[in-house]
Amino acid sequence: MIKRLLEAAQSSLQDAKLNSLSNESRFDLAYKAIMQLANAALQAKGYRVLTSVPGHHQLMIQALPLTVGLDTTTVILLDQLRKQRNAIDYSGDIVSDALTSDVITQAEVLLKLVQKSVIQI
Protein backbone atom coordinates (compact mmCIF):
# COMPACT_ATOMS: atom_id res chain seq x y z
CA MET A 1 0.00 0.00 0.00
CA ILE A 2 2.79 2.43 0.88
CA LYS A 3 4.63 1.63 -2.33
CA ARG A 4 1.45 2.22 -4.35
CA LEU A 5 0.86 5.55 -2.62
CA LEU A 6 4.44 6.65 -3.35
CA GLU A 7 4.08 5.63 -7.00
CA ALA A 8 0.73 7.43 -7.25
CA ALA A 9 2.25 10.56 -5.69
CA GLN A 10 5.13 10.49 -8.16
CA SER A 11 2.67 10.13 -11.04
CA SER A 12 0.49 12.97 -9.75
CA LEU A 13 3.53 15.18 -9.33
CA GLN A 14 4.83 14.35 -12.79
CA ASP A 15 1.45 15.26 -14.29
CA ALA A 16 1.35 18.48 -12.23
CA LYS A 17 4.46 19.60 -14.07
CA LEU A 18 2.74 19.44 -17.47
CA ASN A 19 2.52 23.00 -18.73
CA SER A 20 -0.22 21.95 -21.17
CA LEU A 21 -2.64 21.63 -18.23
CA SER A 22 -4.39 24.56 -16.57
CA ASN A 23 -2.92 25.94 -13.35
CA GLU A 24 -6.04 24.73 -11.53
CA SER A 25 -5.48 21.15 -12.70
CA ARG A 26 -1.76 21.33 -11.97
CA PHE A 27 -2.44 22.67 -8.46
CA ASP A 28 -4.96 19.92 -7.81
CA LEU A 29 -2.53 17.22 -8.96
CA ALA A 30 0.33 18.56 -6.83
CA TYR A 31 -1.97 18.85 -3.82
CA LYS A 32 -3.15 15.29 -4.44
CA ALA A 33 0.51 14.18 -4.41
CA ILE A 34 0.98 15.91 -1.03
CA MET A 35 -2.01 14.03 0.39
CA GLN A 36 -0.82 10.72 -1.04
CA LEU A 37 2.60 11.30 0.51
CA ALA A 38 1.16 12.30 3.88
CA ASN A 39 -0.99 9.18 3.82
CA ALA A 40 2.01 6.99 2.92
CA ALA A 41 3.97 8.51 5.80
CA LEU A 42 1.15 7.76 8.24
CA GLN A 43 0.77 4.21 7.02
CA ALA A 44 4.52 3.63 7.21
CA LYS A 45 4.22 4.38 10.93
CA GLY A 46 1.29 1.98 11.27
CA TYR A 47 -1.55 4.52 11.30
CA ARG A 48 -4.54 5.14 9.07
CA VAL A 49 -7.04 7.94 8.76
CA LEU A 50 -10.69 7.51 7.96
CA THR A 51 -11.15 9.34 4.68
CA SER A 52 -14.91 9.36 5.25
CA VAL A 53 -14.47 11.65 8.25
CA PRO A 54 -14.22 15.41 7.65
CA GLY A 55 -10.81 16.87 8.46
CA HIS A 56 -8.69 13.94 7.31
CA HIS A 57 -6.55 16.15 5.03
CA GLN A 58 -5.82 18.49 7.92
CA LEU A 59 -5.01 15.55 10.19
CA MET A 60 -2.57 14.03 7.69
CA ILE A 61 -0.78 17.38 7.31
CA GLN A 62 -0.62 17.94 11.07
CA ALA A 63 0.86 14.45 11.57
CA LEU A 64 3.84 15.12 9.26
CA PRO A 65 6.15 16.35 12.07
CA LEU A 66 5.61 13.00 13.80
CA THR A 67 5.76 10.81 10.71
CA VAL A 68 8.63 12.39 8.76
CA GLY A 69 9.98 15.16 11.02
CA LEU A 70 8.55 18.03 8.96
CA ASP A 71 9.20 21.45 10.47
CA THR A 72 6.35 23.61 11.78
CA THR A 73 6.81 26.35 9.19
CA THR A 74 6.28 23.89 6.35
CA VAL A 75 3.27 22.35 8.10
CA ILE A 76 1.72 25.82 8.26
CA LEU A 77 2.46 26.36 4.58
CA LEU A 78 0.92 23.00 3.63
CA ASP A 79 -2.15 23.84 5.68
CA GLN A 80 -2.45 27.15 3.82
CA LEU A 81 -2.28 25.21 0.56
CA ARG A 82 -5.04 22.93 1.88
CA LYS A 83 -7.22 25.96 2.57
CA GLN A 84 -6.39 27.39 -0.85
CA ARG A 85 -7.36 24.08 -2.45
CA ASN A 86 -10.75 24.27 -0.74
CA ALA A 87 -11.24 27.81 -2.02
CA ILE A 88 -10.31 26.74 -5.53
CA ASP A 89 -12.62 23.72 -5.46
CA TYR A 90 -15.64 25.46 -3.97
CA SER A 91 -15.45 29.02 -5.29
CA GLY A 92 -13.68 28.61 -8.61
CA ASP A 93 -10.74 30.82 -7.62
CA ILE A 94 -8.09 31.28 -10.28
CA VAL A 95 -4.67 29.74 -9.56
CA SER A 96 -1.66 31.91 -10.31
CA ASP A 97 1.59 30.71 -11.81
CA ALA A 98 3.32 31.47 -8.49
CA LEU A 99 0.84 29.40 -6.45
CA THR A 100 1.14 26.53 -8.92
CA SER A 101 4.92 26.65 -8.63
CA ASP A 102 4.71 26.76 -4.81
CA VAL A 103 2.51 23.69 -4.48
CA ILE A 104 4.64 21.71 -6.93
CA THR A 105 7.80 22.67 -5.02
CA GLN A 106 6.24 21.62 -1.71
CA ALA A 107 5.18 18.29 -3.19
CA GLU A 108 8.72 17.68 -4.50
CA VAL A 109 10.26 18.45 -1.10
CA LEU A 110 7.76 16.23 0.70
CA LEU A 111 8.34 13.39 -1.78
CA LYS A 112 12.06 13.35 -0.96
CA LEU A 113 11.39 13.53 2.76
CA VAL A 114 8.83 10.73 2.73
CA GLN A 115 11.00 8.51 0.53
CA LYS A 116 13.91 9.00 2.92
CA SER A 117 11.73 8.31 5.94
CA VAL A 118 10.08 5.21 4.46
CA ILE A 119 13.44 3.74 3.46
CA GLN A 120 14.61 4.03 7.09
CA ILE A 121 11.63 2.05 8.38
The radius of gyration of the chain's CA atoms, rounded to the nearest angstrom, is: 14
CA dihedral 95, 97, 99, 101 (to 10 degrees): 140
Cα(87)–Cα(106) distance, integer angstroms: 19
Q: Compute the Cα dihedral for 99, 112, 21, 57 and give only its sign.
A: negative
Q: What's the structural domain count of the chain?
A: 1
Q: Kindly state the DSSP code that residue 69 receives in the 8-state scheme.
A: -
One-letter amino acid at 73 equals T
Q: What is the CATH number of the domain that holds 67?
A: 1.20.120.330
Q: How far apart are CA 36 and CA 12, in angstroms?
A: 9
Q: What is the pLDDT of residue 53?
A: 79
- Model confidence band, residue 60 (pLDDT cutoffs 50, 70, 90): very high
| Report field, pTM of the whole predicted structure over 0.85 | yes
Phi (first) and psi of residue 17, to 5 degrees: -85, 0
**The pLDDT value given to residue 88:** 86
103 close to 34: Cβ distance less than 8 angstroms: yes
- The whole domain housing 26 covers 2-120
Higher pLDDT, 92 or 6: 6
